[in-house]
Structure 1
Amino acid sequence: MSLKQRLAARFSRSARLQYGVSLMESGDAKQGFALLSDVAAAGDPEAQYRVGRAYLDGTGVPPSLEEGARWLRLAAEAGRVDARFTLATLYTIGLPEGMEEGALSLSAKDAPPKRVPDFDKALHWARLAADAGSPDAQALLGYILTVGPEHLRDSTQARSWYEKSAAAGCSQGHLGLGLTFLNEARDDAGLQRAAEQLRFATRGNLGTALYLLGVLNEQGRGMPRDLAAAADYYRRGAERGVPAAQSRYGYMLLEGRGVGRDISRAETWLRRAALSGETEAAALLGDVYARGGDLPPNYLEASNWYRFAADRGHGPAARALGLLYLTGAGVHRDPAEAARWFRISTEAGDQAGMADLGNLVLTGVGTDEERRTLSARFERAANDGDLVGAFNFGVCLAEGVGTVRDERQAAQWMHRAADGVVNAQYWYGRMLIEGRGVEPNVKAGCEWMEKAAEAGMTDAQVVLAQLMITGAAVGGRDHARALELYLAAAERGHVGAMFSAGAIYGGGHDVPEDRVKARAWFKRAAERGNGLAQLMYGRYLVRGLGGPANSVEGREWLVRAQGQGVKDAVAELQRLSGEDQVMRAS
């Protein structure tokens, strides 16, 4: 006689139920489940609920959503409140398509079935449990009435159920009420009321509440701005698995906002968020790998994350991917593919992408017809008052792309666009300095160039720096200021600026010589393919300048520079070969 048969003969159904529960709780889940399933089959609602939960959790039995839902439905129909709440939750999340009709059949090779929410059934079971006084069910009912299909929505009822749930101390009820207040808030008082409910919700460690409090603290909405508190809330939300919190916490670690800067941890959290579908996190990951710095640059990885974000409509990421194709970093160099991503960036509303597309047209990408079409498009946008369109049309006129070359008109459109477009400030500044389409005016040109440089445009920073090095700038030579500009551009990834910063630090300029820094900047530029930097870094390694000597690695960099046609690299390698012969002869 089996254990179940012996117990059935000697004990009541209630006693067998309690014994089964004790077995489950003491660790003998398999035996406990067998006993509970026997009691459940006899029609006991509590046993049916526990068997359903065991199937859902995979406790004492292989997990089965279908079996779990079946037993929960039996318990719910018998009036079990917790079964009704759990069943409502399953319907809200969605049961596998076909399960309700008993048509669900999977083989090992089949893909997981699509989960289909059924808010009408969820509402039915949630209301029954809520009416019976379940705070969790009351919060769930409020949620269904808030976000369900239009025919079910009722904000007044939803708020009432949230209030009942919150009054009973349910964290989910506080969260629902906090979201309601947040949506209704029109001033700081409304935001403060929302924040109070969200704080109550964090007692249950609810990730969404933690994330929202992070946002309010970071933005200073309804409370003084507190970046340290924001970072802490984001961290706690991230640890609870909220992708948006993971993305924001990764960003704060990346920038050192409210928390110590930690690129490695930032990359970890951003990766988690991106893999959960957070587009902004994927774009930031692309930036991390493209910029290098604390982590070595990895342009292939950068291109993958930029593509991930761009495919989901992120305009700046599409532009960044276009720039990689334009330079051949991490991907094969393909100006046509770069133009395609610039167009996608433009369509997503990224003005910088539109400016880059206009610049790329100058290189001859596309057919004559495509260039004429693009020029006409820019002209229409310019005449409609679009400043980016004015800039791009100015570029077309300046270079005769898709239209007749007319530098005078180009300068007029550039001047108009310069009030709001950084690229136009740079172009108009150069036109004034060079006297293209306007009377030469170095002072005014430098002023426009300065505006573009202050806005972070690296090309403008580099041009200004070059003018200050040669003394052609209005104020004459200013090597210290030039170095500041080169460093600013270099930190933003301008490879030529990296080389120039190394050259200034290397000596011969009106700033203190620092060969350690020179070597570091030459290295960064060399790693990004700058031939002159490869020459200089090779020399520094061979001669032990600014750090330990390493003739083997130095030769490798000189060979790379030679491969790019740098003549001095050829002479340097010949000199080293001659020295080797002398040493062997001696």
Structure 2
Amino acid sequence: MKVAMRRSSNLVLVSSLALAALALPFSGVKPASAQGSQRALTRPVDPNAGTIRKDNKPSPGTADDKGSRPGENDPYPSSGVTLYQRMGSTLPPLPPEKPYSGPIDDAYGAYQRGLYVTALEKALPRAQAGDAAAQTLVAEMMSRGLGIAHSSKDAAFWYGQAAERGDPAAMFQYALLLMQGRDVTRDKSKADDYMRRAAEAGNASAQFNLAQILIADNPGEKGLRLSLPFYEKSAEQGISDAQYAVAQLYVSIGDLPAEKKAKAREWLLRAAKAGFDTAQLDMGIWYVNGVGGERDYEKGFEWLRIAALRGNVVAQNKLAHLYINALGTRPNPVEAAKWYVLSRRAGLADPALEDFYLGIEEEQQKQAIDLANKFRRG
């Protein structure tokens, strides 16, 4: 039986995303690489990153006595969002598409079933006749070497043709090429225009990247406010980097409606459940410090443990503190020492943990080192 499938608006034509975002000062935007295609890079190590504390007083070095952050003595999350690459993780399903009653696209149907030669045979004549959807499909297949020899230069040509005709996925891809100057002449102005048009047409990845651009081009709170609507739209479509950014902005921008601020933890939780290790780290810290809701040491411990098992260095450091202070778990000096050894090996110094480590028994140190040596990222 012949199965024909329509073109999905969420086809894998979305090139990967690398999270940049809200840290002030902002260091600049990188075009991103696709979610789920890269190994994780954890948060850049900061000696004050996400300090865990038992009371509601600001941690040393994180706020002054005048309350320079929201709420004079309120706990607040680790500082902003910086540049990350996404880890390989299963993302939550996107919202269901609206019922489709348009024409069936046999080329995309063949592509989705893995019949690449057939897909190319059906798409190429249409692409040459000016069909934007077919041009995008041909570009995708050429960029991946599916059904035809890999050619990034030819792919760039077809992405450009489809972008000129308004295909959202092609506009996003071509914007990335223009940003990088890869196989086309670098042109930031043109790249920004295509990124905005793709975002306004509903492309989730373009919405996220446009938010990044707006922050880079508009330092300070202005950029945060301009970017927020696009982060929100991208987050609604299941982009976990955007969900994380929305959570951070909801607690960072002072005068947002209360109903938005109340959803900050919900957005961070969605990003954490999607497998974003930085969101998992912050989720743990938010629960422990009472950011965006009530404290919950047990949930905080669990999220920090998940992030630590996935190799997040800061989470490993914070988990050691939880084991020492019996926050959300029973005290366990060997486990605490193990996580400290792992984070120290990764370059995160912590004098307090070093003092703890030197103060435990030699046999406990040996056990911790042995466990650290056996550790494998989950």
- TM-score, length-scaled by structure 2: 0.62
Structure 2 unaligned blocks of 5 or more:
7-102, 371-378
SS in 1 for 2:359: coil
Return the alpha-carbon distance in structure 2 between the equivalents of residues 315 and 368 of structure 1: 22
> Of the candidates 153, 163, 168, which is equivalent to residue 171 of structure 1?
168
User: Does the 8 Å CA contact 1:139/1:176 hold for their aligned counterparts?
Assistant: no
Match of 2:153 among 143, 152, 156: 156
Q: How does 1:126-205 map to 2 (within 5 A)?
A: 126-127=123-124, 130-131=127-128, 133-147=130-144, 152-184=149-181, 190-205=187-202
Structure 1 residues 121 and 290: alpha-carbon distance in aligned structure 2, compared to 1, 3 A threshold: farther
Tell me if the contact between 1:214 and 1:229 (Cα under 8 Å) persists in the aligned partners.
yes
2:271 aligned with 1:248: no
Match of 1:301?
299
Q: 1:310 aligns with which of 305, 308, 311?
A: 308
In 2: Cα distance, 1:85 partner to 1:290 partner? 48
Q: Separation in 1 of the partners of 2:324 and 2:204? A: 41
Q: Distance in 2 between matches of 1:157 and 1:222?
A: 37
Q: Deviations over 1:41-60 (max 9, x none)?
A: 7xxxxxx556x56xxxxxxx
The RMSD of aligned alpha carbons is 3.6
> What secondary structure is seen at the aligned counterpart in 2 of 1:351?
coil
- Quote the residue 1:570 is aligned against: none
Output the CA distance in 1 between the equivalents of 2:318 and 2:133. Answer: 46
Does the Cα contact within 8 Å between 1:145 and 1:153 map onto a contact in 2? Answer: yes
Q: Does 2:221 match 1:220?
A: no
Q: Quick one: distance in 1 between partners of 2:322 and 2:202?
A: 42
Q: Is the 8 A contact 1:84 1:128 kept in 2?
A: no
Between the aligned partners of 1:120 and 1:221, the Cα distance in structure 2 is: 46
- 2:230 is equivalent to residue 233 of structure 1: yes
SS state at 1:163 partner: helix
- Pick the structure with more helix per residue: 1
Q: Structure 1 residues 345 and 120 mapped into 2: Cα distance closer, same or farther (>3 Å)? A: farther
SS in 1 for 2:201: coil
- The equivalent position to 2:342 in structure 1, one of 341, 344, 347, is 344
Equivalence for 1:266: 264
Question: CA 1:263/1:312 → structure 2, altered by over 3 Å: closer, same or farther?
Answer: farther
Please say if 1:89 is aligned against 2:86: no
Asked if structure 2 preserves the Cα contact closer than 8 Å seen for 1:251 and 1:284, the reply is no
Matched position secondary structure for 2:263:
helix
CA drift at 1:83: 0.6
- Kept in 1, the 8 Å contact 2:337–2:365? The answer is no
User: Partners in 2 of 1:83 and 1:366 — Cα distance?
Assistant: 68
Equivalent residue letter for 2:139: G
Could you report, residue by residue, the CA deviation over 1:325-384 in whole angstroms, capped at 9, with x for unpaired residues?
Answer: 11110011112111212233234x3524x545423222215438849x99xxxxxxxxxx
SS of equivalent residue, structure 1 residue 331: coil
Taking the aligned partners of 1:223 and 1:193, their CA distance within structure 2 comes to 24
Q: Within 5 Å, which residues of 2 pair with 1:161-560?
A: 161-184=158-181, 190-220=187-217, 226-256=223-253, 259=256, 262-292=260-290, 294-347=292-345, 349-352=346-349, 355-367=351-363, 370=366
TM-score scaled to structure 1, two decimals? 0.41
Return the alpha-carbon distance in structure 2 between the equivalents of residues 350 and 305 of structure 1. Answer: 22
- C-alpha separation in 2, matches of 1:49 and 1:336: 59
Q: Deviations for 1:244-275, whole angstroms, at most 9, x for unmatched residues?
A: 11111111113237955755311111111122
Contact 2:211 2:227 in 1 (8 A): yes
Whole-angstrom CA distance in 1 between matches of 2:339 and 2:243: 27
Q: Check conservation: 1:81, 1:129, Cα contact below 8 A.
A: no
Residues 1:208 and 1:134: Cα distance change in structure 2 (over 3 Å):
same
User: What SS is found at the alignment partner of 1:226?
Assistant: helix
User: 1:90, CA displacement in angstroms?
Assistant: 4.0
Q: Which amino acid aligns with 1:324?
A: L
What is the rounded CA distance, in whole Å, between the counterparts of 2:140 and 2:220 in structure 1? 27
Return closer, same or farther for 1:336/1:284 CA change in 2, 3 Å cut-off: same
Give the distance between the partners of 2:362 and 2:293, measured in 1 at CA.
37
Q: 1:293 to 1:175 in 2, by over 3 A?
A: closer
Structure 1 residues 304 and 221: CA distance shift in structure 2, 3 A: same
Name the SS for the 1:333 alignment partner.
coil
What SS does structure 2 have at the residue aligned with 1:197? helix
CA pair 157-320 structure 1, distance change in 2 beyond 3 A: same
**Partner Cα separation in structure 2 for residue 314 and residue 280 of structure 1:** 8
Asked if the contact 2:357–2:365 (Cα under 8 Å) also holds between the matched residues in 1, the reply is no
Measured at CA, do residues 215 and 258 of structure 1 come closer, stay the same or move farther in structure 2, by a change above 3 Å? farther
CA deviation vs aligned residue, 1:537-566 (integer Å, no higher than 9, x gap): xxxxxxxxxxxxxxxxxxxxxxxxxxxxxx
The number of aligned residues is 270
Displacement of 1:199:
0.8
Any idea what the Cα deviations from partners look like across 1:127-173, whole Å, max 9, x if unmatched? 46534543123213323333558x94322111110111112221112
Residue of structure 1 in register with 2:72 after alignment: none
Report the residue type matching 1:255 in the other structure: S
Label 1:272 to 1:368 Cα distance change in 2 as closer, same or farther (>3 A).
closer
Distance 1:146 1:365, change over 3 A: farther
8 A contact 2:214–2:223 mirrored in 1: yes
**1:161–1:367 Cα change, 3 Å:** same
CA deviation vs aligned residue, 1:305-339 (integer Å, no higher than 9, x gap): 11222222211112111211111100111121112
Question: Unaligned stretches of 5+ in structure 1?
Answer: 1-40, 42-47, 54-79, 92-117, 375-586
Q: Is the contact between residue 107 and residue 120 of structure 2 (CA under 8 Å) also seen in structure 1?
A: no
